[in-house]
Chain A
């Protein structure tokens, strides 16, 4: 994501087409499909929120022994009928579930509805389609891969009830007409950890080209990871780098929002509950892009968009050498882009100086102009503009509801 807003398809008129819903089938997400446990099961600490001002002496907490989260997963294949998938899925009880659907390349997927075992519609794309609030990219037909994480916000709930859930999707062609005959693969991840105050986000760091052989870049990335750890830990999410790999990925990184086989291969080599962070020199030929998230939310399962990418060069600055402020800035870019991957949007999004979209959270301040928004949001991690003072230049705050979205992401264990 993170390269601007998707263009809403002007030609899509689903309400007027009056399609029949056909082809329901029952599948089960069960423990036999996959079972991952984290190490240890110690009593969790209830730490006080940490001070998030950049601290040169900050020692990151990478201890995974208190990471208690479990997740299970399953997958199934659904047939598309008259452009729609309408399936019944058995889901055990848990904290949150993530569904990632993939259709044939060149088609476009969107989640249209999610109905709980009691028959209550928990998610309906129509609530968000024309809304000035951005809720999830699952609402829009952006590519042949779509990810819906549920619940998203505190007001959406704090658990997934056991039972049969109805999942509905549309599959569209490049003209946004319904695709009448296709197959969709759906991966489901269920997070069973009920704790929404403490969680762990495991990160797999991949260096493009030969960057892992550049000690200065590696040192800066490690410092940036520590900064990301500090920012998220203040809200109870412990960012833990678990693996570092070199790769043959080009230093000019493909845009994960557009999808690329590189990221499918990379993510397939790791574990599902690992966020793939790729460090390169530039992104999609641009020397201006700081970082990009492969989705909002991004997929835990291996897809062509399962990555967050960051450019080291734009953060190193004119001299090409990192100072402490630049390492801090790169860490906050990692945190910002990962925020998108975990389901956060900018609190406000501008067209010029006018606010045209906001996120769907009630505790991110409301504002209507660039000047007004900066006064309220300039230190918020997800605010799209950074405002530097003479001695400080950082964004590290997250509201309680923003933190709630992070904790509800199924990959935060």
Chain B
């Protein structure tokens, strides 16, 4: 088993362990072959992988990239890059997920990522996400980043 697969697979609770876990915890499915391929591509140091090319490797890029965002702990850039690809290539389909990042106390890094990439999104989407971010748990961290948007309408939100 490759180290990449092993890393992700360890998150999949074995049946015996699952039976001992609290009932509320979900069992993480083992990574699919496609998810392993994407994960390996995302772990490269340099050059950074091209999101459009990565998306071609999967029949369900939103699902596969979302899996990696949720479950790849190491190296830290694998999940961040997967999130970046969702933002740049699949923001429409992944919008509920992205909105969730802005409201999750445990995903400050992803919230900051969204705030720094607002100008690459359609303005209505950027405005909505900015508002959600400023209403969420990471508002203090996001405000200065939203204020740096090149769009006056987005900038203005940070001053409200």
* A384 and B44 form a contact (CB under 8 A): yes
* A287 and B113 form a contact (CB under 8 A): yes
Docked pose: A4 CA to B48 CA in angstroms:
9
Contact with A along B39-70 (1 / 0, CB 8 A): 01001111111010000000000000000010
Q: Which of B103-125 contact A (CB under 8 A)?
A: 106-113, 116-117, 120
- The stretch of A100-108, A118-126, A168-176, A310-318 that contacts the partner chain: A310-318
A318 contact set on B, CB distance < 8 A: 69, 76, 79-80, 83, 106-107, 109-110
Determine which of B2, B6, B45, B73 lies in contact with A317 in the assembled complex, contact meaning CB atoms within 8 Å: B73
* B80 and A313 form a contact (CB under 8 A): yes
Docked pose: A251 CA to B4 CA in angstroms:
32
Of B47, B74, B83, which is in contact with the most chain A CB atoms at under 10 Å from its CB? B74
* A390 and B6 form a contact (CB under 8 A): yes
| Residue A319 at the chain B interface, CB threshold 8 Å | yes
Q: Which of A275-289 contact B (CB under 8 A)?
A: 281-282, 285-289
Docked pose: A65 CA to B110 CA in angstroms:
43
Q: Which of B70-91 contact A (CB under 8 A)?
A: 73-77, 79-81, 83-84, 87
* A390 and B7 form a contact (CB under 8 A): yes
Determine which of B51, B106, B120 lies in contact with A319 in the assembled complex, contact meaning CB atoms within 8 Å: B106
* B45 and A313 form a contact (CB under 8 A): no
Q: Which of A377-401 contact B (CB under 8 A)?
A: 378, 384-390, 393
* A313 and B112 form a contact (CB under 8 A): yes
* A388 and B110 form a contact (CB under 8 A): no
Q: Which of B129-155 contact A (CB under 8 A)?
A: 138, 141, 144-145, 148
| Residue B96 at the chain A interface, CB threshold 8 Å | no
Docked pose: A296 CA to B116 CA in angstroms:
29
- Chain A interfacial positions (CB closer than 8 Å to B): 2-4, 210, 251-252, 281-282, 285-292, 313-321, 325-326, 329, 333, 336, 378, 384-390, 393
| Residue B10 at the chain A interface, CB threshold 8 Å | yes
* A317 and B109 form a contact (CB under 8 A): yes
Of B10, B43, B109, which is in contact with the most chain A CB atoms at under 10 Å from its CB? B109
Q: How large is the interface on B (under 10, 10 to 19, 20 to 34, 35 or more residues)?
A: 35 or more
* A288 and B77 form a contact (CB under 8 A): yes
Q: CB-nearest residue of chain A relative to B105? A: A319
| Residue B3 at the chain A interface, CB threshold 8 Å | yes
| Min distance, Cβ A327 to any Cβ of chain B, angstroms | 10
19 further contact pairs, Cβ within 8 A, besides A317-B77, A385-B40? A4-B46, A210-B144, A286-B48, A286-B84, A287-B83, A290-B77, A292-B46, A313-B80, A313-B112, A316-B109, A317-B73, A318-B83, A318-B106, A320-B108, A320-B109, A325-B76, A329-B75, A378-B3, A386-B75
B81 contact set on A, CB distance < 8 A: 287-288, 314
| Min distance, Cβ A14 to any Cβ of chain B, angstroms | 28
Q: Which of B1-58 contact A (CB under 8 A)?
A: 2-4, 6-7, 10, 40, 43-49, 51
* B46 and A388 form a contact (CB under 8 A): no
* B7 and A388 form a contact (CB under 8 A): yes
Of A282, A320, A378, A385, which is in contact with the most chain B CB atoms at under 10 Å from its CB? A320
* A287 and B117 form a contact (CB under 8 A): yes
* A387 and B3 form a contact (CB under 8 A): yes
| Min distance, Cβ A267 to any Cβ of chain B, angstroms | 22
| Min distance, Cβ B37 to any Cβ of chain A, angstroms | 11
| Min distance, Cβ B34 to any Cβ of chain A, angstroms | 16
* A384 and B45 form a contact (CB under 8 A): yes
Of A4, A315, A318, which is in contact with the most chain B CB atoms at under 10 Å from its CB? A318
| Min distance, Cβ B62 to any Cβ of chain A, angstroms | 17
B69 contact set on A, CB distance < 8 A: 318
* B6 and A385 form a contact (CB under 8 A): no
Q: CB-nearest residue of chain B relative to A4? A: B47
Determine which of B2, B47, B111 lies in contact with A3 in the assembled complex, contact meaning CB atoms within 8 Å: B47
Q: CB-nearest residue of chain A relative to B9? A: A390
Docked pose: A321 CA to B73 CA in angstroms:
12
Docked pose: A313 CA to B4 CA in angstroms:
22
| Min distance, Cβ B35 to any Cβ of chain A, angstroms | 15
9 pairs of residues in contact across A and B, judged by CB atoms under 8 Å: A3-B48, A286-B84, A287-B113, A290-B48, A317-B79, A317-B109, A319-B108, A320-B112, A329-B77
Docked pose: A288 CA to B88 CA in angstroms:
11
A4 contact set on B, CB distance < 8 A: 46-47
Determine which of B40, B75, B112 lies in contact with A393 in the assembled complex, contact meaning CB atoms within 8 Å: B75
* B44 and A389 form a contact (CB under 8 A): no
* A252 and B116 form a contact (CB under 8 A): yes
| Min distance, Cβ B119 to any Cβ of chain A, angstroms | 9
* A386 and B45 form a contact (CB under 8 A): yes
Determine which of A291, A314, A378, A389 lies in contact with B80 in the assembled complex, contact meaning CB atoms within 8 Å: A314
Determine which of B4, B48, B83 lies in contact with A387 in the assembled complex, contact meaning CB atoms within 8 Å: B4
A336 contact set on B, CB distance < 8 A: 45
